[in-house]
A and B are shown apart, each in its own frame.
Chain A
Amino acid sequence: MKKLYFEYYMQIVYSEAAQSCRYTMKCIPAGTDRQRLETLKIQIHPEADYCEGEDSFGNRLLFGGVDIPHDSFDICMKGRITVGLAASEPITKDTDAMLFRHHHGLTKPGERIACYFESLRGGLQGTALEQGKFLMHRLHQDFVYEQNITDISTTAEKAFRLGGGVCQDYAHILITLCRMAKISARYVTGMLLGEGKSHAWVEILSDDRWYALDPANDLEVTDSHIKIGVGRDAADCAINRGLVMGGGRQTQTVRVSVTEEEI
């Protein structure tokens, strides 16, 4: 168990003034058996009223718009959270087992992943969690961490063909492999202890409980991860989504900082 202090900062700078924009942010850390949100403060600039909501996966969201000309848009979220309260989370809706067992969107397998899965099939033994860990270890050996060769819309199959990618790609491929093994698996967005960008990992369902595996780091999640959202793939739980009128070229910066509080 750890008490963590987190800061998430996202800024979009426009090359010319944007006339208006609309945004949806799925950025608020989830409250689960594993983690408890203690404090939260959100600031959006330019200042405007926003609404809160929840999507079909249970992710909290903020949505709103800015209707005055502006040169940049930024959101800053700070808070304290306790993580590592439990090793797993119970399934909240029994239909989730079905929903996350089927191939979807960016995780649909192609020939290369299917072929790779066949080569691993013989090693699958034990519970869903054990099988998931086996697939994660193998993937970690056979896939390389490499930035800037994939982007947010890269499919699992394409990333696998490239042989490398970032946390999103690791997560997508592991989800594809799990679903091929008939294991329900879902994509998780979140933040990791340290400085950097947002992070992504995987939850797999084993005996009606969700266990979290971080394939980019080849480890089972304990108390260094702050979970934000879940979905069938990255597109379901993108942390930010926006629509801009005008604005020219956009430059986005994301900074995440998670530190352990001194107790």
Chain B
Amino acid sequence: MYDLDLLEHTDTVNELLARYGVKFGIYKNNTFREQLFPFDAIPRVIERAEFDFLERGLKQRVVALNLFLKDIYSQKKIVKDKVIPEDFIFASSGYMAECEGVSPRKDIYSHISGIDLVQGKDKSWYILEDNLRVPSGASYPMIARELCRRSSPQTFRDTRLEDNRNYAELLRRTMDNVNVGGHTVILTPGRYNAAYFEHSYLAEKTGAHLVNGSELRVEDDKLYYVNFDGRLERVGAVYRRISDEYLDPMNFNPESVIGIPHIYDVYRKGNVALLNAPGNGIADDKGIYYFVPKMIRYYLGEEPILHNAPTYLPFYEEDMKYVLEHFDTLVLKDVAEAGGYGVVFGSSMSAKQKEDFLALLKKEPRRFIAQEVIDFLDIDIFEGSETVPRKADLRAFVLMADEPLVWKSGLTRFSRNPDSFIVNSSQGGGFKDTWVLSH
């Protein structure tokens, strides 16, 4: 592995990434800064057979999550059958009553899902979280592969792996599958968004128009793109990279200046497709995560192929007891937080912090989940010319077109800090390409 020619070219690839503007923006202390996303050239390699297994498990999971969303916004059988307590649906900030009775085209809710996995030291994979709202990250391994191939063609002649540059085709197929007639656009909040590079890159690669909210408008029950000369052209599908809350100031947050007034009203009538569907936050809620294996059994009548990290819900008395007894060995997550925030390790709290936390936990048990700390399989990264082991996860992308499609690659994120388990890019981590071998 370490004799790959590619590894000689780490600096070149990083320079090219910078030149192509592969950055993400972050707000810290009220100032906007763009930051490079450090690339490590040692690929994460997944054997074909292993990836086939992941693929089956990921498809199963995303199919079940889509059925769950359809059920929750209509009949709620899973609640009536007491598989999921009512509280976990209605007290969740991800549940949106505005989505009740609205059927997205072909009943697809999560067109693009980013499923985060980690591999334990025992080589088994665990699902850490599902991202069904606006998951980002596919563009990074896409462009990294492109630039790696350019820097070291030799490497890719010698190694037979799945080409991951087909993501754009998969995405296009996913968007076309639900387009109701008209243009396909990618809606971005603009260049100050953390993932702006990705928005523009995906637009370029899929041939979709990259637009912002002011270029779209609703007229006579339909959505239009306002052309450069003021003409209106019908839009049939919007891959929107803005959150539900900001999508439509007439239906959601009235303060939003990046959304399109009434877009939700025409979506409701089936006159435009939105990817992903609004309301998906209920399915990737950290509290609902606990119930995903149960959903798979409930909707599909199958045993889950991929497992969750062992998780406890303090909401249940029995689990609360376990959490209190094993507090120091668990990681606790606030269900309302994302991006690696609201995550605390029992073992790293001071006595005072622990006391405060326990008081909060007992007062609002619904707000937290507790998980066993997984002993990650470390993967090597370069630090200077040395290789050092670091924690890493894998974000796999599952696209729901006319059938579920798993992208044969993924974003491997790693923590640069040897003591940290948190790999989020917003917290300074780096990324790797993910190679799926083709034999």
Contacts and interface: CB of A to CB of B under 8 A. Distances in A.
Interface in A231-260: 232, 236, 241, 243
A65 interface: yes
Interface of A: 22, 24, 49, 51, 53, 55-57, 61, 63, 65, 95, 98-99, 101-104, 232, 236, 241, 243
26 contacts: A22-B261, A22-B262, A24-B250, A24-B251, A24-B262, A53-B265, A53-B269, A55-B98, A56-B97, A56-B98, A57-B97, A63-B262, A95-B100, A98-B79, A98-B86, A98-B90, A99-B97, A102-B86, A102-B87, A102-B90, A102-B91, A103-B91, A104-B97, A232-B97, A236-B97, A243-B250
B250 A63 contact: yes
Contacts of B98: 55-56
A37 to B, nearest CB: 22
Given A49-B220, A56-B97, A98 B269 contact: no
Given A24-B250, A53-B265, A95 B76 contact: yes
A30 to B, nearest CB: 16
Given A63-B265, A243-B249, A51 B220 contact: yes
A76 B119 CA distance: 64
B91 A51 contact: no
Nearest to B74: A95
B153 interface: no
Interface in B147-195: none
Contacts of A55: 98
Contacts of B75: 95
Interface string B267-294: 0110000000000000000000000000
Interface of B: 74-76, 79, 86-87, 90-91, 97-102, 220-221, 249-251, 254, 261-262, 265, 268-269
Contacts of B90: 98-99, 101-102, 104
A56 B99 contact: yes
Contacts of A241: 250, 254
Majority SS at the chain B contact face? loop
Contacts of A56: 97-102
The list of the 3 closest CB pairs from A to B, nearest first, reads: A102-B90, A56-B100, A22-B261
B265 to A, nearest CB: 5
Contacts of A24: 250-251, 262, 265
Contacts of B74: 95
Contacts of B87: 102
Contact of A51 (B79, B102, B221, B251): B221
A57 B249 CA distance: 19
B97 A243 contact: no
A98 B250 contact: no
Contacts of B100: 56-57, 95, 99
Contacts of A102: 86-87, 90-91
A243 B261 contact: yes
Contacts of B254: 241, 243
A119 B101 CA distance: 38
B417 to A, nearest CB: 39
A102 B92 CA distance: 11
A152 B98 CA distance: 20
Nearest to B73: A56
Nearest to B271: A51
Contacts of A22: 250, 261-262
